[in-house]
Amino acid sequence: MAHIHLRPDWHIAERDATTENAYRSRRRFIRQLGLGGIAATTLGMGSVSGAAGDPDGPLDTIPDNAPRTGLPATRNADYVVPERPLTSRIAASSYNNYYEFISQGDLKTVWPLTGDYNPFPHTIDVRGLVQEKKTFDVDALIALLGIEERLCRFRCVEAWSMTIPWIGFPLAKLIAECAPLSRATHVRFYSVDRPKEMPGIRNARWFDFPYYEALRMDEATSELAFVATGMYGEPLPKQNGSPLRLVLPWKYGYKGAKAISRIEFVDKQPPTFWQDLFPNEYGFLSNVNPNLPHPRWSQAQERHILEEERLERIPTQLFNGYADIVGHLYPDEPTEFQRGVVR
């Protein structure tokens, strides 16, 4: 698998961050031409059918039957990002990474490909080292655990970042409900695997779905680890991980598995999706760290996406600015520049 070259995104092309209106016009244009999949492929959007259920814009992908219990959620004042503005809602839902939907072409334009995906109803299976196997219904979980809003920094390993108002609950609360055995050292997360609804899975040549990620138990129970069920005051759009996804603001974005359908407690460090694909480039910990360059690019700075084509270049902070909360978990995290280290 080492021969696969995934393009690092040093800049956001115009096509990757246009307004909702522009997207609507582009989709309308394709339909008017009656070209469907051909035009879509030419535009690098993959195969879209133009069927009635297809979304008209990046916010048209919020499922009608998503639970709205607890909305509007109260903002938790402990989690704000005073030094920078929020990313626009359109940008956060237009520029995405989601390989279950798209694995070639214009990788970031995910939302038009989510038309066949029906996230609800949704359950999460809890397995492995637990007192008893459980299955949680997402609606019931939201009602049980309650929801809050947190403003968080979000840093992708590709050196772009966003600032997002997430809605959801602490992962620690969910883990307490799972009742893991004390000998569990790690927790695994598996994403939804539905080839019929997810074209990226159908077309995958290199990826072995479902997407899988994992954390140490002390990481998973950190107060900063969050399960998002919504963003920008609304339930999650499909391309952002509906029905629920992990948000780990001190780690690179790929640690935050979307559309989680299974949680498993284990007693040794499990493999993870990107580490299995590229062990020389992606580690298990994957903490945001400007001192550790990716083998193919620097991590010292990031392009913070404000809206559409508006970006600002800012320095990357150790643990993405959350060292006071999670720094003690990583006594060996390099605090000086090092090359050739993958953690």
Residues in the site for ligand MTE, rule: CB under 6 A?
Answer: 96-100, 156, 191, 211, 240-241, 253-254, 256-259
Q: How far is the CB of 245 from ligand MTE (least distance, A)?
A: 7
Q: Are 125 and 261 in contact (CB under 8 A)?
A: yes
Nearer to ligand MTE, 39 or 92 (CB): 92
Distance of CA 167 to the CA centre of its chain: 14
Nearer to ligand MTE, 31 or 309 (CB): 309
Write out the two tokens for 136: 């949680």
Which residue number is nearest to ligand MTE in terms of Cβ?
A: 253
The residue written with tokens 């939201």 in the block is: 142
Helices and strands in the chain: count of H runs, count of E runs: 9, 13
The CA distance from 67 to 64, in Å, is: 9
Q: How far is the CB of 36 from ligand MTE (least distance, A)?
A: 25
Nearer to ligand MTE, 39 or 249 (CB): 249
Q: How far is the CB of 181 from ligand MTE (least distance, A)?
A: 27
Nearer to ligand MTE, 97 or 320 (CB): 97
Nearer to ligand MTE, 232 or 265 (CB): 232
The residue written with tokens 């690179």 in the block is: 252
Q: How far is the CB of 38 from ligand MTE (least distance, A)?
A: 26
Helix (H) or strand (E) holding 93: helix 89-94
Nearer to ligand MTE, 96 or 163 (CB): 96
Q: How far is the CB of 343 from ligand MTE (least distance, A)?
A: 17
Nearer to ligand MTE, 115 or 253 (CB): 253
Q: How far is the CB of 241 from ligand MTE (least distance, A)?
A: 6
Helix (H) or strand (E) holding 41: helix 37-42
- Quickly list H helices, 105-235: 138-145, 171-178, 199-202, 217-220
Nearer to ligand MTE, 8 or 181 (CB): 8
Nearest to 231 by CA among 148, 123, 338, 156: 148
Reduced to 3 states (helix: H, G, I; strand: E, B; else coil), residue 1 is coil
Q: How far is the CB of 102 from ligand MTE (least distance, A)?
A: 9
Q: How far is the CB of 160 from ligand MTE (least distance, A)?
A: 9
Dihedral of alpha carbons 306, 309, 312, 316, sign: positive
Q: How far is the CB of 98 from ligand MTE (least distance, A)?
A: 5
The CA distance from 56 to 64, in Å, is: 14
Nearer to ligand MTE, 126 or 257 (CB): 257
* First-to-last C-alpha distance (Å) of the chain: 19
Phi-psi region of 329 (alpha: psi -120 to 50; beta: other; left: phi over 0): alpha
Dihedral of alpha carbons 125, 131, 132, 136, sign: negative
The CA distance from 236 to 230, in Å, is: 4
Q: Are 64 and 53 in contact (CB under 8 A)?
A: no
